[in-house]
Amino acid sequence: MDDKQLYLSSQVCFPLYSASRLITKAYKPYLDELGLTYPQYLVLMVLWENNGVSVNQITEKLGLNTNTLSPLLKRMEKMKLLQRSRSSEDERSVIIQLTESGKQLKLKARPIPEKLLTEILSDNIKIEDVLKLKDILNELIVVLSNKTESSRKI
């Protein structure tokens, strides 16, 4: 038995970690123009699709906890992108509403995904590869999030 398994090159996890950081870096120039970080952009995507959701609903969509989102949303409120307010039905819930400028950003953000895709596509990466990548990653997410879910129940 050798220990090839401990080589960086033979792991799946390192490429995943590395690619994720590189993608965020690739987004940066476009998001800089909007004055956003990548996680802030994710929050906006949730809100553009469904304005007026609770913090809890955002945590579920993004898989982030409130200890990450609370300060992030506070910063975004300070940036006048959104407003936080207690729900009247359930005083524990905080509802996140986009401001006008938060809504406006959607127009500026619209071309970003397309631009990123063209950066990625090349001789060695075709659109089928990107779609295949997405499929496998989504399966992986299902498996791994079920894992942490079931361990929570114990």
Which residues would be at the binding site for DNA (CB under 7 A)?
Answer: 17, 21, 24-25, 28, 37-40, 54-56, 59, 63-75, 84, 87, 89-95
Q: How far apart are CA 33 and CA 41, in angstroms?
A: 12
User: To the nearest whole angstrom, how small is the minimum distance from the Cβ of residue 94 to DNA?
Assistant: 4
CB 119 within 8 A of CB 26: yes
Lookup: tokens for 14: 């390192």
Cβ closest to DNA, residue 68 vs residue 104: 68
Positions in the binding site for its own copies (CB under 8 A): 3, 5-8, 10-27, 38, 42, 45-46, 48-49, 61-63, 106, 109-110, 113-114, 116-117, 119-120, 122, 124-125, 129-130, 132-134, 136-145, 147-148
Torsion from C-alpha of 61, 108, 112, 46, nearest 10 degrees: 0
List, in order, residues 6 or more apart from 104 with CB less than 8 Å away: none
Q: How far is the CB of 100 from its own copies (least distance, A)?
A: 18
Please choose which of its own copies, DNA, none residue 56 contacts, taking the beta carbon within 5 to 8 angstroms, the exact cut-off set by kind.
Answer: DNA
94 binds, among its own copies, DNA, none (CB under 5 to 8 A by kind): DNA
CB contact at 8 A, 106 and 48:
yes
Given its own copies, DNA, none, residue 90, with its beta carbon under 5 to 8 Å by kind, binds DNA
